[in-house]
């Protein structure tokens, strides 16, 4: 790895680039005297480009990244008041995600790092989510991570930088994907998750008795396909849907989701407590786009309070895809001495599990499984 300008143990400033899906993002994060700070965090959403299609179109996303990324990087440096000469390294998302977008971001990062003579770090997008709570809340290892996003639903034990053990995953749809598909069934606009949450505010969560998938199962894996089917069948039975019908369906679906999540997570909390009896107040970190859902946060907060855990949920802007988490993951890897790989020869990966040890499963992020 090219190492010019690296200052492990001293002040470090890293430029992060994130293009794994439909946000074009760049950020500068600094670590100085043990205290991290986000010097800039610029995110350009592509919601309008994809809204007409009800979901992300990979080709459109990649083209939008190409058109916007140079300007986003320039804006991030300007906001931080720094030039490339002041940056110690460049970190970019190299997977998992939409491969077209990953190529745009990683190749841009390679060009910037090579031209400026800076080290390059190829970052796992999931590791960015996993470590964000250390940027915002300075929590120590180990802790439990609930990762809930459009492409991933996992429970992971985070033992340290590079030390991840997946305890559970979805056996079918990711939670964010389920929200988006239910929104589409109910005629709600894209993005689905926030619009289901908004509709649910006016709904009666007790009107529809939807199943709580996997509830009571010893292994804390998730399943959302059957719940999604139950929503479709209920909607078809009362079609055409009124606005109140949509609100009630949304509220009932969201209630089923929060109940199922809490049941699954409670199993993992018990296991974590049993394996780490010396930690007085263990932490559950919730990350990913679905972590922005207020009902989900409130349910998890109550669960953790009852189990003696601390719930750590990063600010909303750092739950959804952003480049600050990528820059911070780069800093964490530098500080841990895990930055030796020659990232200039690293190829983007559409599948890249955070846990490289556990057996592959649907939802684990390995190639051949749904990410």
How many C-beta atoms lie closer than 10 Å to residue 269's C-beta? Answer: 21
How many C-beta atoms lie closer than 10 Å to residue 111's C-beta? Answer: 12
Q: Write down the pLDDT at residue 6.
A: 53
Residue-level length of the chain: 371
What sign has the CA pseudo-torsion 95, 97, 101, 103? positive
β 143-148/35-45 pair status: unpaired
Q: Regarding the domain delimited by 12-132+318-345, which CATH topology (the fold level of the hierarchy) does it fall under?
A: Nucleotidyltransferase; domain 5 (3.30.420)
CATH number of 142-313, picked from 3.40.50.970, 3.40.50.720, 3.40.50.300, 3.30.420.40: 3.30.420.40
12-132+318-345 matches 142-313 in fold: yes
Q: What is the pLDDT of residues 88-102, one digit of tens each?
A: 999 999 999 999 999
Q: What is the pLDDT of residues 211-256, one digit of tens each?
A: 999 998 888 899 999 999 999 999 999 999 999 999 999 999 999 9
**pLDDT per 10-residue tile (average), the chain, 371 residues:** 50 96 96 93 89 83 95 98 97 96 97 97 96 96 93 94 96 93 94 94 98 91 96 98 98 97 96 95 93 93 96 92 97 91 91 81 41 33
Domain regions of the chain by residue span: 12-132+318-345, 142-313
pTM of the shown model: 0.91
What sign has the CA pseudo-torsion 237, 238, 239, 241? negative
- The two most distant CA atoms of the chain are separated, in Å, by 65
Q: Write down the pLDDT at residue 23.
A: 92
Q: How far is CA 340 from CA 10, 92, 140, 164, 263, in A?
A: 18, 15, 24, 19, 41
**Would you call 170 helix, strand, or coil by DSSP?**
strand
- Residue 304 has which token pair? 């953790």
How many C-beta atoms lie closer than 10 Å to residue 346's C-beta? Answer: 18
CA atoms of 171 and 146, how far apart (whole Å): 15
Q: Write down the pLDDT at residue 349.
A: 95
Q: Write down the pLDDT at residue 127.
A: 96
What sign has the CA pseudo-torsion 250, 256, 259, 264? negative
Q: Write down the pLDDT at residue 54.
A: 77
Phi and psi of 30, rounded to 5°? -120, 150
Which residues contact residue 254 at a Cβ distance below 8 angstroms, ignoring those fewer than 6 apart?
196, 197, 200, 205, 293, 295
CA atoms of 204 and 323, how far apart (whole Å): 38
Q: Write down the pLDDT at residue 361.
A: 57
Which of 51, 45, 50, 9 lies closest to 24, judged by CA? 45
Q: Write down the pLDDT at residue 371.
A: 33
Q: Write down the pLDDT at residue 243.
A: 98
């Amino acid at each position: 790895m090219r190492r010019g300008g690296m200052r492990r143990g001293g002040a470090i400033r890293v430029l992060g680039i994130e293009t794994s899906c439909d946000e074009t993002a760049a950020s500068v994060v600094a670590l100085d005297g043990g205290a991290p700070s986000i010097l800039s965090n610029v995110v350009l959403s592509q919601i309008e480009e994809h809204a007409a299609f009800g979901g992300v179109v990979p080709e459109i996303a990649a083209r939008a990244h190409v058109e916007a990324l140079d300007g986003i990087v320039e804006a991030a440096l300007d906001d931080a008041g720094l030039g490339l000469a002041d940056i110690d390294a460049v970190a970019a998302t190299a997977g998992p995600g939409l491969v077209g977008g990953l190529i745009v971001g990683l190749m841009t990062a390679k060009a910037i790092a090579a031209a400026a003579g800076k080290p390059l770090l190829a970052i796992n997008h999931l590791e960015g989510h996993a470590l964000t709570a250390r940027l915002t809340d300075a929590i120590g290892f180990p802790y439990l991570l609930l990762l809930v996003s459009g492409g991933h639903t996992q429970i992971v034990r985070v033992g340290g930088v590079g030390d991840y053990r997946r305890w559970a995953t979805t056996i079918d749809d990711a939670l964010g994907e389920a929200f988006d598909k239910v929104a589409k069934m109910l005629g709600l606009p894209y993005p689905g998750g926030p619009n289901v949450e908004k509709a649910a505010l006016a709904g009666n969560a007790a009107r529809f008795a939807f199943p709580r998938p996997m509830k009571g199962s010893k292994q804390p894996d998730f399943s959302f396909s059957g719940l999604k089917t139950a929503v479709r069948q209920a909607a078809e039975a009362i079609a055409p849907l009124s606005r109140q019908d949509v609100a009630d369906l949304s509220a009932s679906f969201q209630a089923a989701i929060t109940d199922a999540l809490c049941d699954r997570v409670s199993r993992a909390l018990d296991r974590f407590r049993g394996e780490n009896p010396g930690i007085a107040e263990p932490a559950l970190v919730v990350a990913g786009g679905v972590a922005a859902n207020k009902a989900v946060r409130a349910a998890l907060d109550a669960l953790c309070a009852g189990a003696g855990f601390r719930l750590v949920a990063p600010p909303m802007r750092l739950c959804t895809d952003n480049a600050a988490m990528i820059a911070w993951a780069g800093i964490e890897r530098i500080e841990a001495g895990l930055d030796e790989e020659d990232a200039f020869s690293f190829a983007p990966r559409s599948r890249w599990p955070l846990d490289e040890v556990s057996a592959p499963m649907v939802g684990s992020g390995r190639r051949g499984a749904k990410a």
